[in-house]
Structure 1
Amino acid sequence: MKIFDYLESHDYEQLVLCQDNESGLKAIIAIHDTTLGPALGGTRMWTYANEEDAMMDVLRLSRGMTYKASAAGLDLGGGKSVIIGNYKTDKNPEMFRAFGRYIDRLNGKYIAAEDVGTTETDMDYIREETEHVTGITVSSSRGSGNPSPSTGYGVYRGMKAAALERFGTDDLAGKTIAVQGLGNVAYHLSKYLHKEGAHLIVTDIDKERVKRAVDEFNAKAVDPKDIYSVSCDIFSPNALGAVINDESIPQLKAKVIAGGANNQLQTEKHGDILHESGILYAPDYIINAGGLMHVIEELHGKFDLNSVLDNVKTIYNNMQKVVEISKRDHIPTYLAADRMAEERILSVKESKKAEDKLLIAQKNGIAK
C-alpha cells in the first residue's frame, strides 16, 4: 500500500500511529477533513487480520465521517480511530488513558467517541487524559451516554423515507425486514420496526443477541451466510462494512437496502449495480448520522435528548433530498449523497479562501 499516494488521492489531512508498550496500545487515528470543524469520529476496537487492514478501515471510516457530518448539516469534520486488539480480552484502563494522551496532543483537531468494540466506560478513561472525547457515561460531568439509540432511530427514519420512495408508503407494518447484525444500533432499530408491525428476519455471530431478538421481537433467526438470500422487502446491514459486493448482490431479493453499518458498498461499482437493478440504496452515512447528532449535543455543554431526537427526525428529509438529487441528475443514490455533502464542503472552503484573501489584503494595506 502506497500510503502517501492514497492520502493524496482522497485529500486526507493527517494519519497518526499510536503505541504504548506498557498497556499494549496499538492504535491509528485518521483525520480526513476539518473544513467544517473538528474531526469527530468513533474509536473502534477490532481484531484485524493485519495492520494494513486496520489502516484501510480507519481511512475509509474517517472519510465517511466527513461526508456524514456535511450531509447532516453539522459543523464537524471527519475523523476516526481504531485500536488493534480483541475488545473482549485485550482491554485495560491504561490502554484508553494512553490513547487519551495521544488524542490530547492533537489539541482538539480530533474528538473521540465510542464505536464497535468500545463503551461509555472506555470513553470515561480517555476523558481522564483529555477533554476531546464524547459519549462518556451519563453519570459523568456532562456525559450523554451511549449514542446507539439515537443512531438506531435515525436508521429507522431513513428506512421509512426509502420505503416511501420504493413502495409508495412509509408504513413498515407488514413489511419483511432482514436485519444483519444485532449490536446496539440494530437492537434499537429492531425495537422501532417491531413496534410498527414489521416482520423481522435476523442474524448475528453472537447467539445471545439472536436469542434476545427472537424473544423480544418475535423474529425469525437464520444463519449468517443465509441472510442475503432470504425473501424480504428491505435488507438492513448493521454489522461491518463491504457486505454489498459481487457475492451478495446476486442473492438479494430486497427492493431497499437501509442499515446502520458504515461503508456497506465494497466499491462504488456495487452502488452502480444496485441502481441498475432497481434496488434503492439508502446511503449509510445519510441514515446512520443519528449518533453524530447525539454526541454533538454533548459538545455544546448540555444534553437534551428531546432536542437530539428532533434533530434525528430530519434524517427522513435528508434521505428524501438524496432521492431527489438522484432523480434530478440521473445518478445512483450513493453519488447523490456524495454530491450533497461535497457541495457544502466546497462552499465553506471557498468562503474561507475569500476570508483569508481579505485578511491578507487588509494586512498589506490593500483593503479596509
Structure 2
Amino acid sequence: MVAVHSTARGPALGGCRMWTYDDARAAVRDVLRLSRAMTFKAAVAGLPLGGGKGVIMLRPDEPPLSPERREAVLQDFGDTVEALGGDYLTAEDVGTGEPDMEVIAGRTSHVTGLATGSGDPSPWTAIGCEVAVRATLERVFGTGDPSGRRIAVIGLGSVGGRLAELLHEGGAELVVADVDQSKRELAERLGATWTDPLSAMTAEVDLVAPCALGGVLNDETVPALRCKAIAGAANNQLADDSLEAQIAERGILWAPDFVCNAGGIINICVELEPSGYDPARAETNVRVVGDSLRTIFDSAAATGTTPLTAALALGQERLRG
C-alpha cells in the first residue's frame, strides 16, 4: 500500500517499509501516519517535496518470504508506484535496502537512493540526528558537547548504530538497547552499558535517543522518564501527540522526531537536483537540521508552546507557501 499525504511542495517522497502487522488495518494506520510525518519532515526542512510512504505488509503467522516470493512482492510494489505517475517517489526504509530498490526500479523509474545515486540514506539520517542531539543538549545544558553526557540509544540498526558510534566518538557515556541480541557486540565495542529497550527508555540519563520503531513515548513510559531531553531518529515516537504536553510538564525537552530524522530525505533531495548528486553538498544541507531545531525551540519559547506545536506551525506555513 502507498499513502500520498501531500504534493503541495512537490512529489511525495517516503520510504518503503516491509514489516509485520497483525492485520491490514494496523498497516493502513501506519502508512497514513508515516506519510503525514513525511510531509512535515520535508516542509520543515524546506525541501521541494511532499510526504508519502509505502508499506509492504507481512503477516505474523506466515514464514519468511523466499527470495523468489520477495522479488515478486517488490515487483508488485513497483507496479503500484508506477501507477501513481510520479506523485510518489519511493526509497528504502525499515525492512528494505538497496537491493530491494533495484528490484523495484525494474518496474518504475520513481525510485531514489539507488547505488547509482545517493545510495543508502541511513548514514545521513544518523549524521542529522547527531546534529539534532547536539542542538538539544545545547538548549538544555548550554553546550552541545556530548562529552561526559549520559545518553541512551534505543535501537542499534543502520541509523541508531551509527548514531551511537558518533556519540561515542564525541565522548558520550552510552546506555544502549536493541531487541536483536547480536547488537551486544557493538555495545561492547563502544564500551556501552547494554540493557533492554524499556530500561533504556526510563534510565537516569541526560538524553534519550529513540531510534527503533514508533510509539515508544506512551502512557507507560512517559511517567517513568528520568531524562532531561529526548532526540532520536525513530518516526512517530509519540503514541499520541497529546503526550508531548505531559513530557513538557515534567521539564523534559522533546525534539520533534520528523525534524531530527530529516537527514536521509535531505540527502535524497540532493540526488534530485538538476546538477546531480554531490555528497559534500548533501552533508552541508544535512547539518542544517541543527539550525531548524534551534528555530523551533526559539519559536516555542517565544510563544509559550511546545516544540511540536512550533514545528507543525512552521510546516503548515511552508505548505501554504
TM range (shorter): over 0.9
Residue of structure 1 equivalent to 2:155? 181
Matches within 5 A, 1:241-280: 241-280=214-253
Give the Cα–Cα distance (whole angstroms) in 1 for the partners of residues 183 and 113 of structure 2: 23
Residue of structure 1 equivalent to 2:80? 102
Residue of structure 2 equivalent to 1:343? 317
Deviation at 1:211, TM superposition (A): 2.0
Moved more, 89-98 or 265-274: 89-98
Q: Is the 8 Å Cα contact of residues 202 and 227 (structure 1) preserved in structure 2?
A: yes
Matches within 5 A, 1:142-153: 142-153=116-127
Residue of structure 2 equivalent to 1:327? 301
Of 48, 61, 64, the residue aligned with 2:34 is 61
Give the Cα–Cα distance (whole angstroms) in 2 for the partners of residues 315 and 279 of structure 1: 20
Residue of structure 2 equivalent to 1:111? 89
The two structures, once aligned, show a CA RMSD in angstroms of: 1.4
For structure 2, the residue ranges without an aligned partner over 5 or more in a row are none
Deviation at 1:221, TM superposition (A): 0.1
**The residue matched to 2:266 in structure 1 has which SS?**
helix
Matches within 5 A, 1:1-368: 28-85=1-58, 89-90=64-65, 92-137=70-115, 142-215=116-189, 217-300=190-273, 302-346=276-320, 348=321
> Relative contact order, CA 8 A, sep 6+: which one is greater?
2
**The residue matched to 2:118 in structure 1 has which SS?**
coil
**The residue matched to 2:239 in structure 1 has which SS?**
coil
Give the Cα–Cα distance (whole angstroms) in 2 for the partners of residues 172 and 227 of structure 1: 18
Q: Is the 8 Å Cα contact of residues 114 and 123 (structure 1) preserved in structure 2?
A: yes
Q: Is the 8 Å Cα contact of residues 230 and 252 (structure 1) preserved in structure 2?
A: yes
**Quick check: which has more Rg, 1 or 2?**
1
Deviation at 1:208, TM superposition (A): 0.9
Q: Is the 8 Å Cα contact of residues 23 and 59 (structure 2) preserved in structure 1?
A: no
Q: Is the 8 Å Cα contact of residues 45 and 86 (structure 1) preserved in structure 2?
A: no
Query: Which AA in structure 1 matches 2:113?
Result: G
Q: Is the 8 Å Cα contact of residues 187 and 213 (structure 1) preserved in structure 2?
A: no
Deviation at 1:86, TM superposition (A): 6.6
Give the Cα–Cα distance (whole angstroms) in 1 for the partners of residues 223 and 271 of structure 2: 43
Give the Cα–Cα distance (whole angstroms) in 1 for the partners of residues 122 and 182 of structure 2: 19
Query: Which AA in structure 1 matches 2:181?
Result: K
Cα shift readout 1:246-281 (whole Å, capped 9, x = no counterpart): 100121111000000001011121011111111000
**The residue matched to 2:17 in structure 1 has which SS?**
strand
Residue of structure 2 equivalent to 1:10? none
Give the Cα–Cα distance (whole angstroms) in 2 for the partners of residues 299 and 319 of structure 1: 24
Deviation at 1:152, TM superposition (A): 0.3
Query: Which AA in structure 2 matches 1:333?
Result: P
**The residue matched to 1:42 in structure 2 has which SS?**
strand
Deviation at 1:98, TM superposition (A): 1.8
Give the Cα–Cα distance (whole angstroms) in 1 for the partners of residues 298 and 96 of structure 2: 36
Deviation at 1:228, TM superposition (A): 2.2
TM-score (norm 1): 0.83
Aligned residues: 315
Deviation at 1:300, TM superposition (A): 2.5
**The residue matched to 2:267 in structure 1 has which SS?**
helix
Give the Cα–Cα distance (whole angstroms) in 2 for the partners of residues 245 and 162 of structure 1: 21
Identity of aligned residues (%): 41
Deviation at 1:224, TM superposition (A): 2.4
Give the Cα–Cα distance (whole angstroms) in 1 for the partners of residues 223 and 249 of structure 2: 13
Cα shift readout 1:180-227 (whole Å, capped 9, x = no counterpart): 111101111111100000011000010112322322x11110022312
Q: Is the 8 Å Cα contact of residues 134 and 144 (structure 2) preserved in structure 1?
A: yes
For structure 1, the residue ranges without an aligned partner over 5 or more in a row are 1-27, 349-368
Deviation at 1:303, TM superposition (A): 1.8
Deviation at 1:174, TM superposition (A): 0.4
Q: Is the 8 Å Cα contact of residues 96 and 122 (structure 1) preserved in structure 2?
A: yes
